[in-house]
């Protein structure tokens, strides 16, 4: 048997994984990895933490858990892979099954392949605005970007930065630069940052970032970047305002890097990514593709989408590497869309569809917001606010998001499995999760969220979200707002919208103080709205017909400064 030659193009995440899997499955195969950058296997999701100065050693982004830098010698010795760095694949001749390459020393050549795996990644999007080529305008996408921004941030104290885009990378860059002593302004054109979240939760993240000292501007675009002597000095907003700055970070997202694939005539999808089937095989049976450059299937909608995430790149690369050796045997099932992000002391995470995206996908949805601590109070509980989204007909959970100071990681991880497994709200409400006081509540936060949603689905509770409640208050119609917390809690913080305080424990005896009109709209709430829910049950039992619980209570109310 003649040894197979596998060529992998791209050396960040999917590429090395595909190459390693292929090499392990067939020790006789010749596996060649072409990488345009000087580095291999960069932990690119770690760039913001490197910029922040959380660690000084650049090599930490490049080495194995045992501390060995993943350079060509490592790939040759440990993996039996020939890694050619500083080497760009410039074209593919599919008929001859040849890749043409050129390296940074000006050398070029051609390599024949039996199977080719494209892991060409993505490129940062650049908005078409004047001034984007000024000095001081950066992206945070490559190791070279990270090195430049780290060098700048080392002397960043007292300087000013504008971040264009409040997505994952934008908010991570915001924290990183703020940690470096930089005065940071995030400018986001959409109604709120972190577009994977619905507004109720995203607004809480914004409040937290502002409380930490970052400026967050939303619903406004950048019109132009302006400078002096070729270097950026200010960002001009669409409304004419100017923000002086020494650095601009463009973080409006990434686009799949498909130049090679397009020029080779491979099929592309509707979103511009390389089309692959479930085996990660392109329209050419000898060419696979994986990572940011491909379109994958959303397991909830069944539709194709771009999903440029490091964890998926690894899983896709493993599938591509395996199928390139063994034939099409392993299927990549697609993504549900899971993400997590540190924003100062907050964590923000989402899995599955947000309410907005679920509605866009045509689902008839029902949702619940729940605020409750991650652990018992005696163990140093920290607050969490979650939102669960379900299909109102089948009860299937479509998505879950969670933000807060507490252990969001556990909540989002367990819910990512529940969403992928197709669990209903009723199934989640009975989940058997590990419990001990250092790790969770006896009724885990996500289970409690399922209980709230279950109560809503069964008509036991009528809820209203913070955003809806604010709109109702602002509309100015007849409305009775009932706070059922204790007097001391009321002294410490309140909505300040003309609400009446009747502590829950007194409500049954003080029903006569309520308006006589039993059809008057009433919104009840407490700190997290557990007592608000008890109040609703009491008021409905007393004949009131339009009582709504403000979901998540004061803990999820985003319209004032943090308490």
Per CB under 8 A, which of residues 252..311 are in contact with a copy of itself?
A: 299, 309-311
Using DSSP's 3-state secondary structure scheme, residue 511 falls into helix
Locate all alpha helices (DSSP H) within 112-258, ordered by sequence: 143-154, 168-179, 199-211
Stretch touching a copy of itself by CB under 8 A, among 32-40, 70-78, 111-119, 211-219: 70-78
Task: State which of positions 335-364 bind a copy of itself (CB under 8 A).
Answer: 335-342, 347, 349-351
Task: State which of positions 145-184 bind a copy of itself (CB under 8 A).
Answer: 168, 172
Task: State which of positions 467-496 bind a copy of itself (CB under 8 A).
Answer: 485-486, 489
C-beta closer to a copy of itself: residue 88 or 540 = 540
Stretch touching a copy of itself by CB under 8 A, among 86-94, 118-126, 205-213, 313-321: 313-321
330 by Cβ neighbours in 10 Å (0-12 / 13-18 / 19+) ranks as middle
**Dihedral sign of CA atoms 62, 68, 70, 72 in order:** positive
C-beta closer to a copy of itself: residue 311 or 517 = 311
- Separation in Å, CA 144 to CA 133, 198, 458, 531: 17, 34, 55, 53
Q: Residue 83, interface with a copy of itself (CB under 8 A)?
A: no
Among 113, 109, 86, which residue's Cα sits nearest to residue 98?
113
* Of positions 122, 199, 314, 386, contacts a copy of itself by CB under 8 A: 314
Stretch touching a copy of itself by CB under 8 A, among 225-233, 265-273, 378-386, 517-525: 378-386
d(CA 247, CA 169): 16
Task: State which of positions 203-262 bind a copy of itself (CB under 8 A).
Answer: none
Provide the minimum distance between the beta carbon of 334 and a copy of itself in the complex, in angstroms, as a whole number.
Answer: 8
Provide the minimum distance between the beta carbon of 410 and a copy of itself in the complex, in angstroms, as a whole number.
Answer: 5
Token pair 């924003």 is at which residue? Answer: 343
Stretch touching a copy of itself by CB under 8 A, among 99-107, 255-263, 362-370, 501-509: 501-509
Q: Residue 430, interface with a copy of itself (CB under 8 A)?
A: yes
φ, ψ dihedrals at 67, nearest 5°: 90, 15
Provide the minimum distance between the beta carbon of 348 and a copy of itself in the complex, in angstroms, as a whole number.
Answer: 10
Q: Residue 90, interface with a copy of itself (CB under 8 A)?
A: no
* Of positions 4, 5, 43, 148, contacts a copy of itself by CB under 8 A: 43
Q: Which helix (H) or strand (E) holds 451?
A: helix 445-457
Is 353 in contact with 341 (CB distance < 8 Å)? Answer: no
C-beta closer to a copy of itself: residue 189 or 542 = 542
Who contacts 129 (Cβ-Cβ below 8 Å, separation ≥6)? 222, 223, 224, 225
φ, ψ dihedrals at 113, nearest 5°: -130, 155
Residue-level length of the chain: 563
C-beta closer to a copy of itself: residue 220 or 381 = 381
C-beta closer to a copy of itself: residue 484 or 523 = 484
Q: Residue 378, interface with a copy of itself (CB under 8 A)?
A: yes
Strands 115-118 and 5-9: what pairing?
parallel
Using DSSP's 3-state secondary structure scheme, residue 520 falls into coil
C-alpha angle 340-341-343 in degrees, rounded to nearest 5? 150
C-beta closer to a copy of itself: residue 98 or 379 = 379
C-beta closer to a copy of itself: residue 50 or 152 = 50
* Of positions 4, 5, 46, 472, contacts a copy of itself by CB under 8 A: 46
Among 165, 156, 152, 78, which residue's Cα sits nearest to residue 124?
165
Q: Residue 27, interface with a copy of itself (CB under 8 A)?
A: yes
Count of residues interacting with a copy of itself (CB under 8 A): 111
Task: State which of positions 91-110 bind a copy of itself (CB under 8 A).
Answer: none
C-alpha angle 139-215-189 in degrees, rounded to nearest 5? 60
* Of positions 437, 494, 501, 521, contacts a copy of itself by CB under 8 A: 437
Provide the minimum distance between the beta carbon of 128 and a copy of itself in the complex, in angstroms, as a whole number.
Answer: 30
Pair of tokens at residue 202: 């995203």
d(CA 294, CA 288): 10
Q: Residue 77, interface with a copy of itself (CB under 8 A)?
A: yes
Using DSSP's 3-state secondary structure scheme, residue 217 falls into strand
Stretch touching a copy of itself by CB under 8 A, among 228-236, 286-294, 355-363, 423-431: 423-431
Q: Residue 423, interface with a copy of itself (CB under 8 A)?
A: yes
Is 61 in contact with 50 (CB distance < 8 Å)? Answer: yes
Task: State which of positions 392-421 bind a copy of itself (CB under 8 A).
Answer: 407, 409-410, 412-418, 420-421
C-beta closer to a copy of itself: residue 222 or 419 = 419
* Of positions 526, 549, 550, 556, contacts a copy of itself by CB under 8 A: 526
Provide the minimum distance between the beta carbon of 279 and a copy of itself in the complex, in angstroms, as a whole number.
Answer: 13
Which residues partner with 386 through β-bridges?
A: 370, 402
* Of positions 120, 440, 465, 466, contacts a copy of itself by CB under 8 A: 440
Residue 365 exposure: Cα atoms within 13 Å on the Cβ side:
21
Stretch touching a copy of itself by CB under 8 A, among 98-106, 231-239, 468-476, 536-544: 536-544
Which residues partner with 389 through β-bridges?
A: 367, 399
Which CB contacts under 8 angstroms, 24+ apart, belong to 281-287? 281/323, 281/328, 282/118, 284/94, 286/94, 286/97, 286/113, 286/114, 286/115, 286/116, 287/92, 287/94, 287/115, 287/116, 287/117, 287/118
């Amino acid at each position: 048997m003649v040894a197979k030659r596998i060529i992998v193009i791209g050396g960040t995440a999917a590429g090395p994984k595909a190459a390693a899997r292929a090499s392990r499955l067939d020790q006789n195969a010749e596996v060649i990895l072409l990488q345009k950058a000087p580095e291999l296997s960069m932990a690119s999701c770690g760039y913001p933490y490197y910029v922040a100065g959380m660690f000084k050693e650049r090599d930490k982004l490049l080495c194995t858990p045992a501390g060995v830098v993943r350079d060509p010698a490592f790939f040759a010795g440990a993996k039996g892979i020939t890694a050619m760095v500083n080497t760009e694949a410039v074209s593919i001749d599919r008929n001859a099954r040849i890749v043409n390459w050129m390296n940074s020393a000006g050398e070029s050549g051609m390599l024949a392949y039996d199977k080719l795996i494209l892991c060409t990644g993505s490129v940062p999007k650049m908005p078409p605005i004047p001034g984007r080529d000024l000095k001081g305008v950066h992206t945070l996408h490559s190791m070279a970007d990270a090195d430049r921004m780290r060098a700048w941030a080392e002397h960043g104290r007292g300087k000013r930065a504008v971040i264009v885009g409040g997505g994952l990378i934008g908010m991570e860059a915001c924290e990183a630069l703020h940690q470096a002593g930089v005065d940071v302004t995030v400018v986001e054109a959409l109604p709120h940052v972190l577009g994977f979240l619905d507004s109720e939760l995203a607004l809480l993240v914004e409040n937290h970032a502002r409380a930490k000292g970052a400026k967050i501007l939303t619903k406004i675009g950048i019109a132009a970047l302006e400078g002096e002597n070729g270097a950026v000095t200010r960002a001009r907003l669409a409304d004419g305002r100017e923000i002086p700055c020494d650095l601009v970070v463009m973080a409006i997202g990434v686009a799949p890097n498909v130049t090679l694939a397009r020029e080779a005539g491979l099929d592309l999808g509707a979103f511009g990514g390389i089309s692959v089937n479930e085996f990660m095989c392109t329209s050419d049976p000898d060419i696979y593709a994986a990572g940011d450059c491909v379109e994958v299937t959303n397991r909830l909608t069944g539709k194709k989408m771009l999903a440029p995430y490091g964890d998926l790149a690894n899983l896709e690369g493993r599938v591509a590497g395996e199928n390139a050796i063994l034939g099409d045997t392993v299927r990549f099932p697609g993504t549900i869309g899971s993400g997590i992000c540190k924003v100062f002391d907050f964590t923000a995470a989402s899995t599955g569809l947000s309410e907005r995206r679920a509605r866009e996908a045509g689902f008839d949805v029902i949702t619940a917001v729940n605020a409750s601590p991650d652990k018992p109070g005696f163990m140093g509980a920290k607050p969490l606010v979650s939102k669960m989204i379900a299909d109102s007909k089948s009860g299937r959970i479509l998505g879950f998001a969670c933000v807060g100071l507490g252990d969001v990681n556990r909540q989002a991880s367990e819910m990512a499995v529940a969403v992928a497994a197709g669990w209903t709200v009723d199934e989640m409400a009975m989940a058997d999760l590990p419990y001990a006081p250092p790790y969770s509540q006896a009724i885990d936060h996500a289970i409690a969220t399922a209980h709230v949603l279950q109560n809503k689905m069964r008509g036991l509770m009528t809820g209203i979200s913070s955003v809806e409640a604010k709109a109702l208050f602002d509309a100015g119609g007849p409305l009775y707002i009932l706070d059922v917390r204790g007097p001391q809690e009321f002294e410490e913080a309140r909505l300040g919208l003309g609400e009446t305080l009747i502590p829950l424990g007194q409500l049954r005896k003080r029903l006569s103080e309520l308006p006589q009109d039993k059809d008057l709209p009433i919104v009840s709430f407490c700190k997290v709205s557990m007592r608000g829910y008890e109040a609703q049950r009491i008021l409905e039992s007393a004949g009131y017909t339009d009582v709504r619980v403000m979901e998540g209570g004061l803990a999820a109310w985003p319209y004032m400064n943090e308490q």
